[in-house]
Structure 1
Amino acid sequence: KSFPDQVSNKLRGIPTYRITMDAHIQNIGWASNYRLGQVVGTEGIKSRLEAYRINSNPYTASITYRSHVQKIGWQNYVHTNDISGTTGRSLRLEALQINIGSNIGGKVYYRCHLEQIGWTDWHGNNAVCGTVGQHRRLEAFVLTILLF
C-alpha cells in the first residue's frame, strides 16, 4: 500500500522512502513537514519562497534540486536533505528544477505558483518551473512522484 507521503516499490526490491519538504517563507520563516501533493509555501498573500529542502528517510533517496534566486541566478544542485535558496537575505526564488535518481523507480512532477501568473502546468524531471529574467517571485510549489 502506498501513501501520499511515501514512495514505495517493494516488488522491485526498492526501499520505501518518506519524502517531506521544508520551506523558508517571507515573514514566516521555516515551515516544516509538507508532504508529497501538498502546497509548499503560500498562495494569495504575496509572500516569496526564499528557500526549501526536500527530506528523505532513509537518506538514500537520490533527489537533486536547484533554485534560480533573485540577484544570484542559478545555484548549484544540492542533494536530499540540503537547503536550496537563501535565508536571512530577503531574496526570492524565481524558478526551480527537481530530479530524482533511478533508485526511486519513478518520475517527479512539480508545478509552481508564481507572482501575477498563478499555477503553472506540471513539469517533469529536471524541467525549469518558474521564470528566469522576469523578476517574478515563486510563492509555492507542489511535488509528486509517479512510480513506474
Structure 2
Amino acid sequence: MAGEVFSNLITSVNPKVMNSGSRGGCKIDRIILHHNATTNKDVAMNTWLVGGAAGTSAHYEITPTEIIGCVGEQYAAWHAGGTGPADPPKISNPNYRSIGIENVNSTGAPSWSLDPRTITNCARLVADICKRYGIPCDRQHVLGHNEVTATACPGGMNVNEVVRLAQTYMANSGASNPKIVKSKYSQYSTASIQDNGKYTKAPAGLGVQAHMSGKGWRKWVGSGELAGSTGKSTTLEAVIVTINGDLKAVEGAIHVASKGWISCAGTFGTTGQKLQIEAIKLKLAKKYDQGKTDIVYRVHQSSIGWSAWVKNGQQAGITGKTKGIEAIQVKLIDRK
C-alpha cells in the first residue's frame, strides 16, 4: 500500500485508524454530503474509529478553517449504506461508488446550522473531487445523505448552495493532483484488518477473516479452516480473503438480500449495516491465476447446512431464501 489518497486541499490528516473497506472495483461517480449532528468535530470523528459502536466513517471532515482527511479516497468509507433491509439505499452500492464529506455544525438541534466558511470549504473540496474524477458537478451527482437513505442528515446544509459554489470554483481553477500521505496501516501487513477491535497481520499464504453479526471481526484462519461458526444463528456480514496479505489476490462477488450481486475484491461484504451474505463467488486475480491452482470453497447456511465444494468463481450458497451464510471454508489446491 503506497499511501492514502486525499485532495491536496487538506489541512491535516486524522492519524486514527477508521472504518473502511474495498471499493470492490466500483468507479467513484458520486459525492454524498453529511452534517456531524454535533458542534464538536472530534466527537464526530471519534465515532468513526474501528471497534466503535457506530460502524460509520467518512473520507473528510470539514470545519470553518479545516479540511481533514480521514479515510483515503481509494477506500470505501461507511457513510451512506443505510441501516438495514428496512432502509434500502436509493442508489446502488452507495459506499462503494461515492466519497463522503462530513461537516461540523455551528449550532445544535433543531436547526443544525453550518458556518458559511464550512460551506465554502466543502464547496472547494467538492469542486476538486469532481475535477479529478470527472464527476459532473450537479445535483444528480452531488447528493445530500437524505437523498440516498432515510435520514435527517445533512441537517441545515443547503446542498444546492454547495453545488452552486463548487461550480464557480471549477470554472475558475485548473485541475489538481491528489495528495498521497503515508498510510495509517503501514505498520501492519497489506491486509491488516480489525480483529475484535485491534489490528492484526494477515497470515502467510491464504488468509480468511470473517465479520459476524453481533460479534465483529474474528481471528484470521488459514487454508481449509473454518471462518465463522455453525449452529449459533450468527451470520456473516463480511469476509476478507488474502494471499500473503494481498487484498487484491482474490476477486469475485457476494449476494445480499435486497441488493443482489455485488462485485468485490479482497473484502467481500459490509459491516455496520446489518446486511448478511447469502452467497459468494471467489476467483484468483489474474496475477495469481497461472492455471496451476484452484481456489476451492464452501459455505454453511442457517437451516440449510454445508454447500457442496465449488471452485474458481462458481456460486456457493443459495439465494432467494433469506438464509445467511454462517461460516465459510476456503483453500488453495494445486491442479494435477
Please confirm whether the aligned pair reaches a TM-score higher than 0.5, indicating the same fold.
yes
Q: Which structure has greater strand proportion?
A: 1
Call closer, same or farther: CA 1:61–1:69 in 2, change over 3 Å: closer
* Count of aligned pairs: 129
Shift of 1:29: 0.1
Q: Which residue of 2 aligns with 1:109?
A: 296
* TM-score, length-scaled by structure 1: 0.79
**Aligned partners of 2:256, 2:264: CA distance in 1, in Å?**
13
**Aligned partners of 1:33, 1:104: CA distance in 2, in Å?**
27
**Aligned partners of 1:62, 1:55: CA distance in 2, in Å?**
6
**Aligned partners of 1:91, 1:61: CA distance in 2, in Å?**
23
- Structure 1 residue runs without a partner (length 5+): 1-16
Compute the RMSD of aligned alpha carbons.
1.9
Kindly report structure 1 stretches of 4+ aligned residues shifted beyond 3 Å.
none
Q: Which residue of 1 aligns with 2:208?
A: 21
Larger radius of gyration: 2
**Aligned partners of 1:116, 1:44: CA distance in 2, in Å?**
9
**Aligned partners of 1:95, 1:109: CA distance in 2, in Å?**
14
Call closer, same or farther: CA 1:29–1:60 in 2, change over 3 Å: closer
Q: Which residue of 2 aligns with 1:97?
A: 281
**Aligned partners of 1:67, 1:109: CA distance in 2, in Å?**
16
Paired amino acid for 2:280: L
Deviations 1:28-67 (A, max 9, x none): 1001311111111111101010001112226397321221
**Aligned partners of 2:209, 2:219: CA distance in 1, in Å?**
4
**Aligned partners of 1:129, 1:114: CA distance in 2, in Å?**
10
Deviations 1:63-91 (A, max 9, x none): 2122111221111131xxx3211100111
**Aligned partners of 1:33, 1:20: CA distance in 2, in Å?**
6
**Aligned partners of 2:251, 2:328: CA distance in 1, in Å?**
16
Q: Percent identity?
A: 26
Q: Which has the higher contact order (CA 8 A, sep 6+)?
A: 1
More deviation, 95-104/112-121 = 95-104
Deviations 1:80-110 (A, max 9, x none): xx32111001111000001124247211111
Q: Which residue of 1 aligns with 2:321?
A: 134
**Aligned partners of 1:74, 1:113: CA distance in 2, in Å?**
19
